[in-house]
Amino acid sequence: MGNLDVTGYLARLGLEAEPPSAAALRRLHAAHVERVPYEALEIQLGRPTPLAPSASLARILRGRGGYCYHLNGAFSELLRELGYPVTRHLGGVQGGAGDAPNLDRNHLALTVAALPDEPATPWLVDAGLGDGFHEPLPLREGTYVQGPHTYRLRRSEVAPGGWRFDHDPAGSFVGFDFAPGVAELPDFAEKHAWLSTSPESGFVRVCVIQRRDAAGVDTLRALTLNRHGAKELVESPEAWWTAAADVFGITPDLFTAEERARLWRQVVAQHEAHTSEGPVVAV
């Protein structure tokens, strides 16, 4: 199966290889968003990451995660190795209500088509949204309910032939559009560099870790641990790393003492900026 460590990847997801099917795709998707966290701790540490799926997978196998380029990049490679017809697409996520729909390449979207048991149904697949959907969505117009969230799929108004995903109003972003054509990872290189280094990038401005399960979403934003409004202020580095490990699977031994101290200083500063100047949103 190519150069991808399929066995290791599936072990990380707690699954075994099986032939492609809609049910198997749902299992893969759910396991990925439950077990591989959405996080940009490398950016917080000033270490921009490569886009290559092999590099993303190496980090995932060490117990870490990433954001959309990493998570969907690696996941799409796994799906291909398992025999799924998967396509990457140029996408654009809108973080706030005032953001106009766009295709600014800040999101790598995925679709899967022509499954043996449901050949006429394409699927929207996404392991890189943080608090996105738990299982893949059939790519047809309609409203879909998963756990506490209600989503909508419709035709895009900014990408001819493309699609629009509208998040639940309680979600951390408004939605995203994606184009119908095929994209490759180098198409995202310029935006990835900006997201990784610009002082205006949400990934630079605030430390966010998220994990989705069937019942909802856990989010650690700076010092605030939140599950659908049940918020807890994390008031010590020990408590912060306990939350990172117990809720998101990111253990402190993955970082040096210096890195842990730097991350703690940054999340404290981000929390203080949030409480004094208003919310800081990562997109």
Q: Rounded CA gap, 20 and 234, in Å?
A: 42
Do the domain assignments include residue 101? Answer: no
Q: Is 124 helix (H, G, I), strand (E, B) or coil?
A: strand
* Sign of the CA dihedral with 13 first, then 18, 20, and 22 last: negative
Do the domain assignments include residue 183? Answer: no
Do the domain assignments include residue 240? Answer: yes
CATH of the domain at 257: 3.30.2140.10
Q: Rounded CA gap, 273 and 157, in Å?
A: 36
Do the domain assignments include residue 62? Answer: no
Interval 206-227: pLDDT, tens: 999 999 999 999 999 999 999 9
Do the domain assignments include residue 223? Answer: yes
pTM of the model: 0.94
Counting Cβ atoms within 10 Å, is residue 22 exposed (0-12), middle (13-18) or buried (19+)? middle
Domain count, the chain: 1
Do the domain assignments include residue 184? Answer: no
The whole domain housing 207 covers 199-277
Do the domain assignments include residue 146? Answer: no
Q: Which helix (H) or strand (E) holds 71?
A: helix 68-81
Q: Which of 276, 265, 269 is nearest to 237 (CA)?
A: 265
Interval 76-103: pLDDT, tens: 999 999 999 999 999 999 988 888 899 9
Q: Rounded CA gap, 216 and 204, in Å?
A: 26
Do the domain assignments include residue 272? Answer: yes
Interval 135-194: pLDDT, tens: 999 999 999 999 999 999 999 999 999 999 999 999 999 999 999 999 999 999 999 999
Interval 47-72: pLDDT, tens: 989 999 999 999 999 999 999 999 99
Q: Rounded CA gap, 188 and 174, in Å?
A: 21
